[in-house]
Structure 1
C-alpha cells in the first residue's frame, strides 16, 4: 500500500509540474507568460493611395518580424477622423502610434494628444507643424527639385509647364511645390502655365489634364505631377488627345504602374521614394521609442530619379 501511494503521489507531482511548465513556458507567439507584446497603432492618410498602401504593407511585414501587434486604420484624407483615431489608440493604451498625416496643420492636434498621453508618436512619410517623437520619411523639397530639374534640362530651359498638386495643405504637396518653384526661379524662360490640385488621384489628374488640353493645347510642353497616380492620369489624357509624344511628363513615387510606363516610354521619368525603408524604419523607431531605447529623431531616405537608363535598378524594389 505504501509503495502504491508513493507511486501515485509521484505521478501527480510530475503531472502538476508538466502543466505548470506549459502554462508558464513559451507559447505559439514565442512569448513567455509574463512578457508583453508591444501594440502599435497606425493611422494612414488613405488606403486608396497605392504608395501609402505600400508603406503600410512594409510596416506590417516588419511588425510581424518583430512580434509587434500592428493596428492599421484609414483616415480617408480626413484630419478630423485622424485625430479621432489617435484618441482611440490613446484610449486603447497602445505602446506607440505611427501617424501618416493628412495635413500639416489640421493633423497636428493628433501629435499633441499622443505626447500629452506620454505615448511616442512617429510621423511617417509626411510632416506636421507639431513636432512628433520622431520623423521617418524623405525630403519632399528634394523630390520637387529633382523632377523640375529634369524637365528644365529636357526642355533646354525654355517652355511651358503645368503642375498637378496633391492635396492642398499636406506636407508633400507644400514641399514638392517649393522644390519645383526653386528650380523654376533658376530658369526665367521656363513658365508655369497653370497649376491646380488633382488630390493625389489618377482620375482627377486625368480630368484636370483634359481641361488644360482644352484651354492650352499645344502650348503645354511639360507636366509635373506631384505623384505617380496623377502623372498616370495626365499620361492617359495626353495619349487620348494625341499629344503625348510632344509633352514631357514627370511624377513622383515610382509605383509599379509608373515604372512600367517609363519602360514603355509613356512616362518620361519618375522619382523613386522608398516605401520599403519608410515602413520598416517607422516600425523600428516606434519599437525603440516604446521600449525607451535610443532612436533617431529624424530619418531621411533620399529620393532618386528614375529614367529608362537606370530603370533596371528599380524594377524589383
Structure 2
C-alpha cells in the first residue's frame, strides 16, 4: 500500500477532520479520500465530502462479519455499522469469528449469513487473500460485498470503506523518525504489528519499517501475534526480557494498552516510551494521561457507517463511491485537546450490538 503522500501537518489535519465531525444522528458530510482507480492504495486520490442517503427505501438485510470483538477498536466499528443501519432503517446481523486464527469460522459465518437471506455482506477480513473464494461465491449470487477496515485482495469486491494501514504504520514511524533523525543518538525500538498474514498488518509493517529507514531508530525486534490483550502482553514481556535496553514499544493499540501497566510494574516508564499505530479508547486515555506518546486515527466509526451506506446505495441502484476512506492524522499529547473522538470511538457505556431490526 502506498506511503507516497506527504504527511499533513498535525494541526491542519485535525482541522480538516474536525469539519466532518457531527452528532451521531447527523455525522455528515465527512471529509474523505477517494481512490481512482479503486482497490489500489497506490492509485491517485482526491478529497471529497461524503454524504450518505437520508434513508433506505426498504429494510434490507445487511450481514456484517468481523474478525472478533475482543477490543475497543472493533467496538468502534460496531458502533458505526449499527448506528448507520438504524439511521437508514435497514436490518443488520453482526457475526464475529473469535480471532485472527479463525479464518474458517469467518468463512462459515458468511456462508450462513447468505443462506439466511442477507441482501449484502460487509466484511472486516481476517485474511487479505483467504476470503477471495467466498467473496466470489457471494458475488456470483449478485449480492454486494463491502470490504471494511482490514482489506482484501479480491477484484470482485463491490466497494471498499477503508484507509491505508501502510500509511497508518508510516505515520507512527514518521513520528518517531522526526524525534530521532539520522545522525542523532541511536535508540532501540520493538515493533508489534499484529497477527501475521492479515492484510492490514502486512501493510502496516511495510509502512512503519519504511518510515524509520535512515533514522536513528534501530528495530531490534518484530513480534507478530493476535490482538487479544493477553497475547500482546506476553509478547511485550518476552521482548523486555530479551532487550533490557529498549527505548520504544510501537505497535497495535492493544500492544500499547498492555504495555502501560507492564512498564509501570517494572519501573520502566521513564526509559521506554509507547506509540500505537491506530486509535482506541485505551490509547486515547493513555495519550491524555501522558502514558502513550501518539497514535494516528483512521476515524473507525465513520468507516463502519460508510460501509453500510455503500451497501444500501448499491442495493438501491444509487450512485456510490467505490473506494473511500477518512483522511488520516496523528494525535499527540500536545494536540489531544483539539481531537474530537466522535468519529473514532464508541461512546462510553456502548455495548456490542449484534442485531438491528
TM-score by length of 1: 0.84
Could you tell me which residue of structure 2 aligns to residue 196 of structure 1?
Answer: 223
Q: 1:81 to 1:97 in 2, by over 3 A?
A: same
State the partner residue of 2:129.
105
Q: Is the Cα contact below 8 Å between 2:250 and 2:276 reproduced in 1?
A: yes
| Structure 2 segments unaligned to the other structure (5+ residues) | 1-54, 343-357
Structure-2 separation of matches of 1:202 and 1:252: 16
Match of 1:171 in 2: 199
Alignment of 1:96-175 (within 5 A): 96-131=120-155, 132-157=157-182, 158-175=186-203
Question: Which string of whole-angstrom CA distances, capped at 9 and with x for unpartnered residues, describes residues 85-107 of structure 1?
Answer: 22122222321110110111222
Shift of 1:193: 0.1
1:224 aligns to what? 250
Q: Does the CA-based 8 Å contact 2:58-2:90 persist in structure 1?
A: no
Deviation at 1:36, TM superposition (A): 4.2
Match of 1:291 in 2: 316
CA distance in 1 between partners of 2:237 and 2:106 (Å): 33
Question: Structure 2 CA distance, aligned partners of 1:254 and 1:129?
Answer: 24
Higher Rg: 1
How many pairs are equivalent?
A: 281
Unmatched tracts of structure 1, length 5 or more: 1-30
Q: Within 1, Cα distance between the matches of 2:341 and 2:296?
A: 15
1:73 aligns with 2:95: yes
Q: 1:310: Cα distance to partner?
A: 1.1
TM-score by length of 2: 0.75
Larger RCO, structure (CA 8 Å, separation 6 or more): 2
Q: Equivalent residue for 1:23?
A: none
SS of 2:270 mapped into structure 1: helix
- Structure 1 runs of 4+ aligned residues shifted over 4 Å read none
Question: 2:63 maps to which residue?
Answer: 41
State whether structure 2 residue 84 is matched by structure 1 residue 57: no
The offset of 1:315, in angstroms, is 5.1
- 2:41 alignment counterpart: none
Which protein is richer in helix relative to its size? 1
Structure 2 distance, partners of 1:147, 1:250, is 7
Query: What is the root-mean-square deviation in Å for CA atoms of aligned residues?
Result: 1.7
The corresponding residue for 1:4 is none
SS in 2 for 1:245: coil
